[in-house]
Chains A and B, each alone.
Chain A
């Protein structure tokens, strides 16, 4: 299995904060178009792993490759975004004082420089893309609403929509259903399932029922390393996983 067949390939990543190893020789990979769920108790290193992939945190050692031989550890945060990695944060952060449409407009793929955005106009093709995404995330009727008046679930979908605007190859989604109603959870699962295939999707989530409903492959993190991997049933029956989660 070569590095090139993988969308994302992390090997032996170690990150320590004041002696505490947030990641301890972490290795994992993601296939193109795959949906991977990552679970693990608090402090397992899930967020730190996301931070390393997106360039927010630099690891002490290890390697991180993306797509066709892109070394993520050498890129800045904006360059990683440009390379095709988009991240959804745990807390929904949409731009509160901008409309749903404007939120998506800012997320459009395209030049990010000040002078270019100063003169930028929306092309008909871009307008169509925004309409498409509004449709996918189910917010077509809210296009002129300000971000701050959206319900919690709608904010999460808008944020996912903003990631889609950039046509990312890899979507990192951090706890998408925390605080959602059962109905919203169902719609989110539907949304994420529809995205896999076209994009690689990595979801970090605590909600087991939700993970079971979307994931084919599950990776369990504990104390900064992978302790189990496989489908949901296999993982749930793994003795180490049971030990970590249940103390059995």
Chain B
């Protein structure tokens, strides 16, 4: 009896070979980057430039965003086309902390007000900027604000049984509305310029290679933790309920599961991880502005997941890294064709690779 139980239930954990490989690669990156940047001399060809670190850090943040999209889309069948909103809000929360850290070192030298506020004739700090000079408060906000948005928005949407393409459209509208709002100067978030010219984080210089390396290692660790947490969720009975909702929603409701509540929890978890990804992105990239809310960003995240292979978690991360690597290369070498390539990729994957690149790999090894 016991054996049967462990065979059926524990099987999925042991079966997560893709996940084990992904975590190994991630560990390798977290070791190789510091070594190649700090220990290999700058004159050597193997030296990793600050540009390279930033690039890898960016891919990892995008991987985390893709992970959050896959949790709700791949496992629960909810296609959110507004996940960049959570990513950006997390980023803005981090940005507010970094702006407060600049202090009197800004162009206008105001000890309290960030440059853009002085420029826009603010007399005092808006109420919602208070507390952001404390890192711990900012971290709470990075988690709380995306969670709150996902919670409130999801509560209304799921309670009204908004599903499928209608849900996708209103999430797209949500991120577009936020973009327009953040573009306004009187919102108090720096208008179309957003936040930039960051100096340091927790006292460490953001322009030093050491800080960049540490940020990258932290990002890799956060990505690993998110992966393991999400894997635990999808392998639990709750995860099986999510897949049941994806495949036959009304049936799941009829055997008594509060489908709306499941969707809401998953949407909130997903929003939190997307927000943390944004928060890790901002200090590494050095800028956050309203264009991060652009609808195309959310759509791109969905394409990463589709290309990598939805419903596997690690496939989403692989997709994010591959597509963004292609983007980095193509927008440099042939900038005019990138959007065509992106569109073609989405069409081809949808038509010929419903399980993405990971599906292509696992089909051969006859893995489930």
Contacts and interface: CB of A to CB of B under 8 A. Distances in A.
B333 interface: no
Interface stretch (B27-35, B97-105, B180-188, B233-241): B233-241
Nearest to B11: A144
Interface string A43-78: 000000000001000000000000000000000011
B4 A119 contact: no
29 contacts: A54-B254, A77-B253, A78-B256, A81-B256, A93-B250, A96-B248, A98-B240, A98-B244, A98-B247, A99-B8, A106-B237, A106-B244, A106-B257, A112-B256, A112-B257, A113-B261, A114-B258, A114-B265, A117-B236, A117-B238, A117-B257, A118-B233, A118-B236, A118-B238, A120-B236, A122-B5, A122-B9, A127-B5, A143-B8
A106 B255 contact: yes
B212 interface: no
A94 B257 CA distance: 15
Contacts of A157: none
A118 B256 CA distance: 16
A96 B247 contact: yes
Given A81-B254, A113-B258, A127-B1, A95 B238 contact: no
A134 to B, nearest CB: 11
Nearest to A148: B247
Interface in A113-142: 113-115, 117-122, 124, 127-128
Interface of A: 54, 77-78, 81-82, 86-87, 89, 93-99, 101-102, 105-107, 112-115, 117-122, 124, 127-128, 143-144, 162, 166
Interface size class of B (residues with CB under 8 A): 20 to 34
A10 to B, nearest CB: 19
B155 to A, nearest CB: 14
A2 B4 CA distance: 48
A112 B258 contact: yes
Interface of B: 1-2, 4-5, 8-9, 233, 236-238, 240-241, 243-244, 246-248, 250-258, 261-262, 265
B8 A101 contact: yes
A107 B248 CA distance: 14
A107 B241 CA distance: 10
B241 A106 contact: yes
A115 B238 CA distance: 8
B253 A78 contact: yes
Given A81-B254, A89-B251, A162-B255, A106 B240 contact: yes
Given A78-B253, A112-B257, A105 B237 contact: yes
A177 to B, nearest CB: 20
A127 B1 CA distance: 8
Contact of B257 (A54, A78, A124, A128): A78
B248 A102 contact: no
B256 A105 contact: no
Contact of A107 (B2, B255, B265): B255
Nearest to A101: B8
Contacts of A97: 243, 246-247
Contacts of A98: 240, 243-244, 247
B248 A114 contact: no
Contacts of A122: 5, 9
Which of A115, A118, A162, A166 gathers most chain B CB within 10 Å?
A: A118
A78 B247 contact: no
A92 B27 CA distance: 46
A48 B187 CA distance: 52
A113 B265 CA distance: 11
Contacts of A81: 254-256
Nearest to A87: B254
Contacts of B265: 114-115
Contacts of B9: 121-122
B1 A128 contact: yes
A98 B9 CA distance: 12
A-B interface, 8 closest residue pairs, ranked by CB to CB distance from nearest: A81-B256, A117-B238, A118-B238, A120-B237, A117-B237, A93-B251, A114-B265, A95-B244
B254 A77 contact: yes
A127 to B, nearest CB: 6
A143 B2 CA distance: 15
